Amino acid sequence: MTDPTGYSQRTSSTGITRTTRTTGPTGPAGPTGPAGQPTPTPPSRRTSRALDAALRAGPFESALQLAISDSGLSLESLRRRLATDGIHVGLSTLSYWQRGLRRPERAESLRAVRAIEDLCGLPRSSLVALLGPRRPRGRWGEPRTRELDIEELLGDEMLLAMTLSGLDVSVNSRCEHVSVHGDRWMHADRSWGKERIRRIVIARTEGVDRFVALSLRDIDGEQPPSVRALHGCRLGRVRIDPATGLHAAELLFDRRLSSGQVHVFDYEYQAGPGSTGVTRYDYGSRQPLRELVLRAHFVPDRLPVRCYQVVRRRYDDDSGLRDVQELQPDAHGVIQLVSLNGKAGIEGFRWEWD
């Protein structure tokens, strides 16, 4: 129908009322909100090339972020629009969704995503389709073939710390993480000194230009490390949370990647004080990896008495730790782990000194 203000209204299947402008005999007029103030309405528009590409290839958080940006709505405006139509989503939740820290999966959350599609003028189910089927949860043995939320992998405390850091870790989901090689060198006093990491990634979208590397402490009292870019990247912003030991470093690629382009980059950490007595070296990945190679380099006459390959459900829950197999050092004191086509989650070593 057309109301007296000169605006036509239609209600989508999500329950969201979308308002489009018409011109009456006295000229165009706008709808009014409290105190007669005009209510902003996203203009009709063509989607940008970047948004088109993200809607085709994902990931979800990139498409959502671009859709909201292209619509001209702030997160607060979007939250208010949703609330007006009876869909209540917190501002922090919307922020987590577009940064890839959480994914909408519950029925009410999916209803909100469909409403966002309407408000942003997107084709129906274009965002929902990027979410795919609901991910399995529970025992470690269940398949984890999709990306995990940061909350699932690291826990609530780290999720909050990352949110406060101001670095957008959702950029990591714009790449497929193919391979990770990590080497850590141990000292005779049972502390670690240096860790070097090589990553191979494939850009999922156009213009990928950075990665946010996260480092977490391995032992209570350990201070955050320092980080240095080596090849294929340079160091950007660094954020440290003393309470949790979270260290977040932005690594800027030496070029913008095209969709499908492969990139290799290397960086290394120097340990901070307080790592003496560390008994583990592991790696957490939100995505399944084609190849994970970890090597712990011990002083040959200061070897641990036992070492195991382990998997864990999440960083803050040792109750989910499971030994996979015992590992033996080579003649040079190196213990190696090779995992092919692994699941998303945490995998690595634990050892016993005595």
Give 254-303 as a DSSP string: EEEEPTT-EEEEEEEEE--S--TT--EEEEEESS--SEEEEEEE--TTS-
Sign of the dihedral through C-alpha 256, 200, 65, 94: negative
- Model pLDDT, residue 335: 95
The residue type of 158 is M
The single residue listed with the structure tokens 């060198």 is: 185
Name the nearest CA neighbour of 71 among 38, 120, 118.
120
pTM of the prediction?
0.63
H helices of the chain, in order, are 49-57, 60-71, 75-84, 91-99, 107-119, 128-131, 150-154, 156-165
Question: What are 304's two structure tokens?
Answer: 């641990």
Name the nearest CA neighbour of 232 among 255, 268, 265.
265
- Say if residues 67 and 122 touch (Cβ distance below 8 Å): yes
> At 88, is the secondary structure helix, strand, or coil?
coil
CA distances from 20 to 30, 124, 206, 354 (A): 10, 18, 32, 73
- Model pLDDT, residue 30: 41
Which DSSP letter does residue 98 get? H
**Residues paired with residue 335 on neighbouring β-strands, in sequence order:** 296
Domains of the chain: 43-131 (1.10.260), 151-352 (2.60.40)
Cis peptide bond N-terminal to 304, omega within 30: no
For 286, residues 6+ apart whose C-beta sits below 8 A from its C-beta are 147, 148, 149, 150, 153, 172, 173, 344
The H or E element containing residue 228 is strand 226-231
The single residue listed with the structure tokens 């999440």 is: 314
The single residue listed with the structure tokens 């274009």 is: 126
- Say if residues 130 and 55 touch (Cβ distance below 8 Å): yes
Name the nearest CA neighbour of 15 among 128, 117, 123.
117
In the chain (354 residues long), the average pLDDT of successive 10-residue segments reads: 35 44 38 46 60 84 88 89 88 80 81 90 88 54 56 65 70 90 96 96 91 89 93 94 86 93 96 92 89 95 93 71 88 93 88 93
Q: 345 exposed, middle or buried (CB, 10 Å; 0-12, 13-18, 19+)?
A: buried
CA distances from 219 to 23, 104, 223, 274, 280 (A): 67, 33, 9, 8, 9
Q: 35 exposed, middle or buried (CB, 10 Å; 0-12, 13-18, 19+)?
A: exposed
